[in-house]
Amino acid sequence: MSVQSAAADVDVDLRQLFASLARNWLRILIVALAVTGLAFALAWLATPQYKAETKLLIETRESVFTRPDGTSNDSEKPILDEQGVASQVEVISSTDILKQVAAKLNLSKLPEFDEAAKMSALSRLLVIVGLKSDPNEIAPEERVLKKMREKLNVHSVEKSRVIVIEFSSEDPRLAADIPNAIANTYISVQGNAKLESNAAATDWLAPEIADLSKRVKDAEAKVADFRAQSDLLMGGNNAVLATQQLSELSTELSRVRANRAAAEATADSVRKALQSGGSLDAVPEVLNSDLIQRLRERQVELRANIADLSTTLLDNHPRIRALKSQLA
Q: How many structural domains does the chain have?
A: 4
Using alpha carbons only, give the angle 50, 56, 57 rounded to the nearest 5 degrees.
Answer: 155
Residue 7 pLDDT exceeds 60? no
Q: Does a structural domain hold residue 71?
A: no
At 165 the pLDDT is 93
Q: Does a structural domain hold residue 242?
A: yes
pTM: 0.47
At 75 the pLDDT is 45
| Judgement on whether residues 193 and 255 belong to the same structural domain of the protein | no
DSSP per-residue codes, 291-311: HHHHHHHHHHHHHHHHHHHHT
Q: Does a structural domain hold residue 1?
A: no
| Judgement on whether residues 123 and 262 belong to the same structural domain of the protein | no
Q: What would the pLDDT profile of 69-102 be if each residue is shown by its tens digit?
A: 544 454 444 456 788 888 899 999 999 999 999 9
Which residue type is seen at 108? S
pLDDT category of residue 6 using cuts at 50, 70 and 90: very low
At 194 the pLDDT is 80
Q: Does a structural domain hold residue 189?
A: yes
At 3 the pLDDT is 47
Q: Does a structural domain hold residue 67?
A: no
Range of the domain at 182: 48-62+78-232
At 96 the pLDDT is 92
| Judgement on whether residues 322 and 250 belong to the same structural domain of the protein | no
Residue 50 pLDDT exceeds 60? yes
Using CB atoms within 10 Å of the CB of residue 244, give its burial: 0 to 12 exposed, 13 to 18 middle, 19+ buried. Answer: middle
Q: What would the pLDDT profile of 101-157 be if each residue is shown by its tens digit?
A: 999 998 888 888 876 656 655 565 665 655 556 566 677 888 888 889 999 999 999
At 77 the pLDDT is 47
Q: Does a structural domain hold residue 182?
A: yes
| Judgement on whether residues 167 and 128 belong to the same structural domain of the protein | yes
At 202 the pLDDT is 81
Q: What would the pLDDT profile of 12-49 be if each residue is shown by its tens digit?
A: 467 777 777 777 777 777 888 888 877 766 656 556 78
| Judgement on whether residues 98 and 160 belong to the same structural domain of the protein | yes
Q: Does a structural domain hold residue 129?
A: yes
Q: Which residues contact 164 (CB under 8 A, 6 or more apart)?
A: 53, 54, 55, 153, 154, 155, 156, 157
| Judgement on whether residues 58 and 207 belong to the same structural domain of the protein | yes
Q: What would the pLDDT profile of 196-246 be if each residue is shown by its tens digit?
A: 877 777 888 888 888 888 888 888 888 777 777 766 655 555 566 667 778
| Judgement on whether residues 53 and 197 belong to the same structural domain of the protein | yes
Q: Choose one of 215, 232, 249: the last residue of a domain.
A: 232
| Judgement on whether residues 198 and 89 belong to the same structural domain of the protein | yes
Q: What would the pLDDT profile of 284-298 be if each residue is shown by its tens digit?
A: 666 667 777 787 788
Q: Which of 80, 77, 147, 153 shows the shortest CA–CA distance to 114?
A: 147
| Judgement on whether residues 261 and 310 belong to the same structural domain of the protein | no
| Judgement on whether residues 102 and 247 belong to the same structural domain of the protein | no
31 Ramachandran zone, left/alpha/beta (phi>0; psi -120 to 50): alpha
* Percentage of the residues of the chain whose pLDDT score is greater than 90: 13
| Judgement on whether residues 212 and 244 belong to the same structural domain of the protein | no
Q: What would the pLDDT profile of 146-201 be if each residue is shown by its tens digit?
A: 889 999 999 999 888 899 999 998 888 989 999 999 999 999 988 888 888 777 77
Euclidean distance between the first and final Cα of the chain, in Å? 169
| Judgement on whether residues 147 and 269 belong to the same structural domain of the protein | no
